Structure 1
Amino acid sequence: MKPLLRHMNFSMLLFGRLISNIGDSMYYIAAMWLVYTLGGSAFYSGIAGFLTLAPQAFQFITGPIIDRHSIRNLLVATQLIQALLLCTIPIAYAFHFLSVTMIFIIMPLAAFLNQFSLPAENALIPQILPKEQRVTANSLMAVSQQGSDAAFNALSGALVASVGAITLYMADIVTFLLAALLFSAIKLQYAHEENKSAKTIQEQTRRYFNDLKEGFLTVFRSILGKMLVASAITNFVFGAMMASLPAYSDTLGGSEIFGFLLAGMSIGSLIGAGSAGLFKRFAFGRLMIVGYFLGFSFWFASACIPYIPFKIILFSISMIPIGLSNVLSFVFMQNVIPQKMLARSISVITSISSCMMPIGSLIGGVLSTLFRPQIIFAATSSSLLFISVYLLCVPLLRRIPSVQSIQPEQYGFHSDSPSGI
């Protein structure tokens, strides 16, 4: 890990991501609270949450742009534009024309700009690091993101109460500026030059949609489409589980239990992401099959056991294979997808997976009114069993070797082919 942190480019990417993610957490909490106080109703908070999360479904739009332009410049530009957008909030507040409508306009714009980050950073890692360092790098990126989310979501609530939402917005602006400064320090040996052959707006538009189509075809005509099934099911079920979790927690003792279960989810995912380096030499296919089965076993045991501390611990353990699988899946994609197709392929996968969570949340909310929340919590654990069986029954997925030994040619990817597969 130390040699990796001494790598200047990766250090700038890691700490830039960490600081930017801290800003995202503060911005989300501050925006939700500000909308609630201005509107005077939880209804407005619900709309605010939807507007912040909805742009994740459109992340696929960013992929072709990232693949055609300098990733460093895009990261810097998106951070600066987000800072500029958020500046309007304290300015409007100071001059007494801040409104709920204004925040509703700014929130999705800032959230959409943030959709460049994940595919851009995942596309940048193969440019700056050799294959043998990518598992540790992705593990560190995941831990920094999830850890800062867990810490600053809680801290931001306290800060809103002590210093106010507007002050938190101003601190958030500073984090985006610092992140832009760190991203600007990334030095690449070669620049990702934009293709200059398309000069007119019509030609550029046609090329963009061709690139977008290639991204979807790359995913759905390859092993990535089969892996997407597992990712989509996981997000769908987590949406359903999260919708029923407050009611389930209420049957166990109230909001305190809800907080402990959420903390357990974060801790389990962090442990899984942080331990990815220990499993990089294991066959990825078999590792996922065993991991998801164990995840189901611990989750179902958590639903059945009556002793609450053990219930929370077992639920936390069930999240470890999911955190581990997330990191190794990104390494798999970085090692097999041609560089010129990487951002648009990852953005397609993330967009489709993200769409499933709000759908699952809606269905989970409806089912929670028809059945006892304990039944929903136990039933959702079966999704991990389904994924384990699905991976076992698909030979191409079952036989995936370790992420370090994967060769693109094994899965029909060729860096010199026009479409990438």
Structure 2
Amino acid sequence: MFNYNFKILASAIFFKYMGISLYTVAAMMLVLDLTHNPFYSGVALFAVSLPACFGFLIAPLVSRLNYKKTLIICECIKFIFLTVIICLSLINYNSVVLVIIMMFTIALLSQFTYPIESTLIPIILEKDNIIKGNSIINTIRESLRIVFLGVAGLTVSEIGPTFTFIITAFGFMITSLLYCLFRNININLAEAEERFKLKQITVNYTKDIKEALGYVRNSIIPYIVIGATLANFFAGGMLAALPDFSLTKGGEQFYGYYMMSEAVGMLIGSLISPQFKKIPFGIICISASLLAGVFWISTSFLPSFVSVFMYGTGFMFLAFINIMIFSSIQQQVSVEMVGRIMALISSFASISLPIGSLLGGYIATSIGSQYSIIFGGVGMIIFSMMWTFNLKLRKLPNIEKIKFISN
């Protein structure tokens, strides 16, 4: 049913996400270990989050590239960066600046590889197998994220960030070698180059943005953009302080537990959210954001493992909101505008997260990481209050009846 190229892609993603999951925890903990200052955790999260702000600009450019070569080169660069950090660490030359630069570079390269991996599915699979293929790839990603985030904290605490990087580098190397085995996966590059000349990209992008802004001007979508931006801003503040906060709850391994709890919560929330589609959309957003805020605030006060559970449960409620919002837009917005509206919301939300991470790091340094976690919870309660006091938002019906755009 699945051909040679799909098996190569699935195998490569397995090794890649095994490494990335371990690296995510090890890199943040290494920054904290080198500086003993949670503000630099905020700077590191800022560096990791910033490339996502440019994703909407990178995606059109990716279509001009040779897919196979781009995937191989990106994974090789990741391997080289990690190897340099490992070698410097082994000779006791540790630089937080170099680590943060590495984190930024790896995050930036992911903005190139992720769209290509997604684009390859319809290229290498028959139409009847595309949905099942996407499901398999997403299952591999999420399953590995949950499993390896859970063990990453223990791995870092037992063998240290440097040796954890060696495992990650091995994953990147294997991924690069697997990508070398792809056969005939590129589209007609001559046609792609003609369609995506820089001048044409600029003209098309400006036109798309103007049309998207005009389309949503008299709708409730601007409220959703504001809400998503605020939620990401406060979440960024909370995530920046999480490495330092985890140390107060029991050690480095707890950072992995918190990250795993977040992943599990998001997965559960995504799976069960369709069961609530008959409930009014306004009530869901108000209730879920309020509960997420309360659970995150309680995270800062409760004992270690209970705190981990509360943290993940808060993200389960956040997943409710995400799924409902994006499902509603997919159902109610015209097909040709869905991608542009999604990009609009994602762009604003992406910009606010790195800014929030800097503030969260500053709060953690000034008065304690516990207050950065409270900061994130308070943000979700503010989100809930915004919807509560806006009659139009509070009265929104369920997603099958909601009207985003005024005709």
Q: Normalising by the residue count of structure 2, what TM-score does the alignment of the two structures yield?
A: 0.67
Q: Does 1:60 align with 2:56?
A: yes
For 1:54 and 1:338, the matched residues in 2 are separated by: 30
Shift of the 61–324 alpha-carbon distance from structure 1 to 2, 3 Å rule, reads same
| Residue in 1 that maps onto 2:78 | 86
| Residue in 1 that maps onto 2:404 | 411
| Residue in 1 that maps onto 2:351 | 355
Match of 2:268 among 266, 271, 278: 271
Pairwise CA distance, 1:231: 1.9
Q: Deviations over 1:187-234 (max 9, x none)?
A: 99xxxx8595787x5x42542542563486378635443222222222
In structure 2, list runs of 5 or more residues that go unmatched.
none
For 1:395 and 1:65, the matched residues in 2 are separated by: 40
Pairwise CA distance, 1:292: 1.8
Match of 1:111 among 102, 107, 111: 107
Q: Deviations over 1:32-76 (max 9, x none)?
A: 799999xx8779x8676654433122223134447xx49xx8875
* 1:188-337 equivalence runs, <5 A: 196=194, 203-211=199-207, 213-214=209-210, 217=213, 221=217, 223-245=220-242, 260-280=257-277, 282-303=279-300, 309-336=305-332
Matched to 1:230, the amino acid is G
Matched to 1:298, the amino acid is F
Pairwise CA distance, 1:266: 3.7
Shift of the 74–148 alpha-carbon distance from structure 1 to 2, 3 Å rule, reads farther
| Residue in 1 that maps onto 2:175 | 175
For 2:296 and 2:44, the matched residues in 1 are separated by: 31
Q: Equivalent residue of 1:399, what SS?
A: coil
For 1:314 and 1:94, the matched residues in 2 are separated by: 35
Pairwise CA distance, 1:321: 0.6
| Residue in 2 that maps onto 1:416 | none
Shift of the 267–340 alpha-carbon distance from structure 1 to 2, 3 Å rule, reads same
Q: Equivalent residue of 1:411, what SS?
A: coil
Shift of the 59–90 alpha-carbon distance from structure 1 to 2, 3 Å rule, reads closer
Shift of the 394–136 alpha-carbon distance from structure 1 to 2, 3 Å rule, reads farther
Aligned-pair identity (%): 23
Q: Deviations over 1:286-336 (max 9, x none)?
A: 3222222232343445556x5555444334322211133334444444445
Match of 2:387 among 391, 402, 405: 391
Pairwise CA distance, 1:172: 1.2
Shift of the 196–259 alpha-carbon distance from structure 1 to 2, 3 Å rule, reads closer
| Residue in 2 that maps onto 1:3 | none
Matched to 1:114, the amino acid is S
Q: Normalising by the residue count of structure 1, what TM-score does the alignment of the two structures yield?
A: 0.65
Q: Equivalent residue of 1:395, what SS?
A: helix
For 2:347 and 2:139, the matched residues in 1 are separated by: 23
Pairwise CA distance, 1:82: 1.2
Shift of the 275–163 alpha-carbon distance from structure 1 to 2, 3 Å rule, reads same
Equivalent residues, number? 392
Q: Deviations over 1:227-248 (max 9, x none)?
A: 2222222222122223445665
For 2:243 and 2:338, the matched residues in 1 are separated by: 38
For 2:87 and 2:45, the matched residues in 1 are separated by: 26
In structure 1, list runs of 5 or more residues that go unmatched.
1-5, 414-420
The answer to whether the Cα contact below 8 Å between 1:12 and 1:185 also exists between their aligned partners in 2 is no
Q: Deviations over 1:68-104 (max 9, x none)?
A: x49xx887565333123235458879999x9979887
Matched to 2:286, the amino acid is I
Moved more, 218-227 or 135-144: 135-144
Shift of the 374–336 alpha-carbon distance from structure 1 to 2, 3 Å rule, reads same
Q: Equivalent residue of 1:275, what SS?
A: helix
